[in-house]
Chains A and B, each alone.
Chain A
Amino acid sequence: MNAAEKPLSLSPAPLIDVEELEVRYGTRAALRGLSFTVKAGEVVGLLGPNGAGKTTTFSVLATLRKPDAGRVTVAGLSVADAPKQVRRMLGVVPQSLALYPTFSARENVVLFARLAGLRGRAVHVAATAALQLVGLEDRADDRVGSFSGGMQHRLNLACGILHAPRVVLLDEPTVGVDPQSRERIGEAVRDQARRGAAVLYSTHDLDEAERVCDRVVLIDEGHVVSDGTPEELIRRSGGVLRLEVVTRAPLPVGWFEGVDGVVPIHAAAVAPLLSRGPTVHVGLTDLSSASRVLERATACGGGVLEFHVHQPSLQDVFMALTGRALRD
C-alpha cells in the first residue's frame, strides 16, 4: 500500500485552523481577521469575488507568505514558525498550472513525488497511482505541452496530491477545464477527503462548490461573511427563486412594479447566461409569480425571447450578504 492509498486517521481537531488572519500589502489590507477551520476528511470551499483574499489565504497556508497578524496552523503547526514541517503535510494545487511542459506526465509526477519527499519505489508507485487517479495513465509518456487544458489540470491536481498529504490546498483547480475533466477532478478531490485529508477548495464554479464541498466559507474584502454547508447558507440567507428574462428590447425602469410576488434583486450583479438580448433578473416568492412577470415584460414592449427560473444558490446567498456577485 502506497502513501496515497493509506487512510489517514480522522482527528477531531481541525487540520487547518485560521484565526484572525491579517495580511497587508503595503497599506492595503488583503485579509482582515479571517477565521475558519477545516477538519480531516472535510472539503471546504473558499468562495469569494476577485480580491476577496482567497489567493492570499492560500499563500499563507502554503507558507509562501507570512501573516502579519493572527494565527494559522496546519495540523497544529504554525505556518509562520514551522514552515518546513508544514510543507511536508501540504499538497498544493495552485490556481494556474504548475507543470513542466517539456516533460512527460510521468516525468512531472515523478519529479514532484521526489520533491515532496518520496524516495525509491514509493516514487513510481505514487506516480502511477496519481496518473491513474486523474485518468492519464495512457498518456503518461506524452509531453505535457501536447495535453489539452483539461488534461493538464488533471495532471496539475495529480502532482499536488500524489504524496497523500494530510492537507490539500486547491486554488481554483477547474478553471478552464472541460466538463469531463472537471468531473474527474471533483471525484479526485472527494477521494482525498475520503482518505482523511483536509481539503481547502477555492472555486468560482458555485455548482461545483455545492457539489464537491462539504462546507463553504464565503469571504469578501478579507474577512468571512458566512460559513456553513451550502444548504445552510441558502437557508440562512432566506433565498428566493430567481427569474432571468431575456428580451428583444430593454425594459423601462420600474417595469415590474405592482406585480405580486416579485422581489427586487441585484440584477446587475448577475451575469447573463446568454447574450441574445437585454437580460433582467427578478426575485420570485413563488413559481406562480413568473407568468405575471413575463406578461408585464411583454406589456412593457420588451418582447420576451426566453426566460429561466433559478433555484436559490450560493450566488444568491453571496449577493444577499454583500450586494455583489461572486464573479465581480
Chain B
Amino acid sequence: MSSLLTLIGKDLRLLGRDRAALVFILLAPLIVICVAGLSLANLYGADPTGQTAYDLPLFDEDGSRLSQEIRERLAQEPAVRLRDVGSRAEAQELVRDKQAGSALIIPRGTAAALTAGAGAKIILFNDPVKYLERINLRTRILELRDAISTEQGAAVRQGAAAERAKAEEKIAAFKAVVVNQRAKLEAAWSEARRIRAAVLEAARRDAVQARGEATRVIKNEWQQHSARVQKDVQSQVEQLRQEFRAYVEALATARQGFEAWLEDLKTRAGSHASDIPPPPSFPELPVSLKQIVDGSRAPVELRLPEVELALPTPRMPDLPALPDLPEIELPEIVLPPLPPAPSSLEIEVVSLAGVPTYINTFDQNVPGFAVTFLMLGMLLGISLGLLDEREWGTMQRVRALPVGPSQFLLAKLLTRFLVGVGQMIVLLTIGWLAFGVSLGPQPVALLLPIVGIAYAGTAFGLIVAAVATSREAVFSVGSVVMVTMSAVGGCWWPIDLEPRWMRSVALAFPTTWAMDAFNDLMIRRRTIDAAYLPTAVMLAYGSLYLLIGLMIFRRRAEG
C-alpha cells in the first residue's frame, strides 16, 4: 500500500511538473468551454452575458403603442441587441452589408389594421446565409407576437368582463329599486286595508252601541212597566190572600167547633157512641194553599215574559273592497355571453423539470467539454504517461523493483482516475461560479457520474495505452476515439440533434450516459435517483474496458 501511495505521489508530482498537462487538464477545457459556450449560445437560447445577442435593426414606421411595445419587448430580450434605424432602406442595407442577419420593419398602419380586425404583418428582412439567426429571431418574434396577442386578448376579455360587471351592477341596482318600491307599495296597500277595516269596525261598533242603547231603553221601559203590573197584581193577590186566610182561619175554627161537638156527642151517646157513624172528614187544606195562607208562597206567580228584542241589524257602510296588490314580475335580464376576444393559438412550453425553457448554454457545454477533456486526458494521458515512462526507462526499472508492474500500472490508473475526478469537480465548480451553471438540487449527486465517467475513461485509457505503442499511434487512436465518443455521446451538442440511429449507437459510449446523468442532475434538476442507472452503466463499461485493457497488456507483456 505504501509503495502504491509512493507511485501515486510520483505520478501526481510528474503531472504537477508538466505544465502543458496542467494547461491541458484545466485551462484548455475552460478556453474551449468559453469559446464553444459563447459560439453555440444561440443554439440553446442565449448566453447569460448577452455577448452573443443578434444585432437586429428595427424601423418602426407605425409609431403606435403596439409597435412601441414590440420594440420594448425586443429590447429586453437577451438574445437580441436592438438597433433603431431611420428607414426601411437603412435596415435593408445593414442586412445586405452583413452587419446584421435580419432586420425588422413594423409597417405603417399595423396597429390600426389590427384594431380594425383586419390582418397585419411585420416584415423580417433576412440574410439567407444566416439561417440559424433567422430561425432564432423569427422564433423570438413569434413568441413575442403570441405574448402580445395573448396579453391583448386578455385585456379585451378583462375590459368586457368589467363592462359586464358594471351592467350587472346596474341591473342589480334596478332590481333593488323595484323591490324597494314594491315594498313601499305593499306597505301603503296594507295601510289602506287596515284603515278600511278600522272604518268598518268603527261603524259596526257604533251600530252595536246604538242597538244596545235602544235595547236597554226598551228593556228599561219594559221592566218599569212590568214592575208596575206586578205590583198591582201582588197587591190584588195579597188582598185575596188575606181574605182567603181569614176564611181558612174561620174554617179551622169551625172545624175545631165541630170536632168538639162530635166529641161531646159521642160522650153523650155513650154506648151508642160506636153507632154513631163517623162524620165526614174535613178536607185538609192543600199545602199550596197553606203556603199561600202562611205567606210562604205567593198565590200568583206573575211571570212577565222576557222581552226579546229583535232589532234589525244596522246597515254597515258599503265601502268598496281593496283589490289585491298586483304582482310585479320583473323580467329576468340575461346578459349575453362575452364575445370571444381576438387571440392566437398559443403554445405553452412547459418544462417538466420546473426550470427555465431556455437553458444556459454553459449548462450543456461545461459538463460536455469537461467530459471531453476528461476523456482526452485519460486516453492520451495514460498512454503518453506510460510512453514517457518507457522512454525514460523508468517503467523497466520500476518493474524490476519489489513493487512490480501491477502496482506500477495500478498507480498510474488510480492517479489518472483521481486527477480526472478532481478535474471534473474543478471544472464544474468553475462553471458554477463563472458561468452560472446549475449544479442541480443535489450537487453531491454529481459525484456519481463523475466517478463513473472517470472510471470508464481511465479503463478505456488503458486499452488505448495497450493498443497504441507510439506517440503517433496514441494521438491517432486516442483522438479518433475521443472525438467519436464525445461528439456522438452528446458532449459537444445536444444528443437530440443526432439522427435516431446515431443515438442508438451512442448508447455504447460511456460519454452518452455521463451526459445523460449530468443533464438530468444539472439541467432537469433531478435528484440522485436519476444518476444511478447511468453510473451503473458507466461502471460496467469501465469494468469491461479494464478487462480488455489488462488482457491486451498481459498479452503484450508475454509477447
Contact = CB atoms under 8 A, between A and B. Distances in A.
B392 A117 contact: no
B2 A92 contact: no
Contacts of A103: 13-14, 17
Interface string A149-166: 000000000011000000
B113 interface: no
A311 interface: no
Residue among B14, B393, B401, B404 with max Cβ neighbours from chain A (10 Å): B401
Contact of A100 (B2, B6, B392): B392
A201 interface: no
Contacts of A159: 397
Given A114-B3, A115-B7, A119-B2, A100 B397 contact: no
A102 B17 contact: yes
Nearest to A171: B396
A90 B18 CA distance: 31
A100 B394 contact: yes
Nearest to A123: B6
Interface residues of A, number: 28
B228 interface: no
A101 interface: yes
Contacts of A114: 2-3, 6
Nearest to B5: A114
A99 B400 contact: no
Contacts of A112: 397, 401
A107 B12 CA distance: 13
A84 interface: yes
A200 interface: no
A166 to B, nearest CB: 13
A92 B397 CA distance: 7
A160 B401 CA distance: 9
B403 A115 contact: yes
B399 interface: yes
B390 to A, nearest CB: 10
Given A84-B402, A115-B402, A115-B403, A94 B396 contact: yes
A50 interface: no
A138 to B, nearest CB: 22
Interface in B7-44: 7, 10, 13-14, 17-18
Interface string B427-465: 000000000000000000000000000000000000000
A146 B214 CA distance: 160
B341 interface: no
A161 B401 CA distance: 11
Interface string B400-431: 11111000000000000000000000000000
A83 B394 CA distance: 19
A112 B402 CA distance: 11
A204 to B, nearest CB: 18
Contacts of B2: 114, 119
B398 interface: yes
Contacts of B402: 84, 87-88, 115-117
A200 to B, nearest CB: 13
B397 A94 contact: yes
A160 B17 contact: no
B401 A98 contact: no
Nearest to A89: B402
A100 B393 contact: no
B18 A64 contact: no
A319 interface: no
Contact of B6 (A62, A83, A84, A115): A115
A94 B392 CA distance: 11
A96 interface: yes
Residue among B394, B403, B404 with max Cβ neighbours from chain A (10 Å): B394
Contacts of B398: 115
A22 B220 CA distance: 177
A98 B404 contact: no
Contact of B392 (A62, A83, A101, A116): A101
Contact of A102 (B14, B399, B401, B404): B14
A100 B400 contact: no
Contact of A98 (B3, B14, B394): B394
Contacts of A99: 392-394
A102 B14 CA distance: 7
A69 B449 CA distance: 50
A116 B14 CA distance: 19
Contacts of B392: 97-101
A99 B395 CA distance: 9
Interface in B362-409: 392-394, 396-404
Contacts of B394: 98-100
B173 to A, nearest CB: 95
A57 interface: no
A261 B402 CA distance: 57
A111 interface: yes
Contact of B400 (A62, A101, A102, A117): A62
B393 A111 contact: no
Contacts of B401: 87, 92, 112, 115-116
Contacts of A202: none
Contact of B3 (A64, A101, A115): A115
A107 B404 contact: no
Contacts of B10: 100, 111
Contacts of B400: 62-64, 87, 90, 92, 94
20 contacts: A64-B396, A64-B400, A84-B402, A84-B404, A88-B402, A92-B400, A94-B396, A98-B392, A98-B397, A100-B10, A100-B392, A102-B18, A103-B14, A114-B2, A114-B3, A115-B3, A115-B7, A115-B402, A115-B403, A160-B397
Which 4 A-B residue pairings sit nearest by Cβ, starting from the closest? A98-B393, A98-B397, A102-B17, A62-B400
Given A99-B392, A99-B393, 13 more contacts: A63-B400, A64-B400, A84-B404, A94-B393, A98-B393, A98-B394, A101-B392, A103-B14, A111-B10, A112-B401, A114-B6, A115-B3, A115-B403
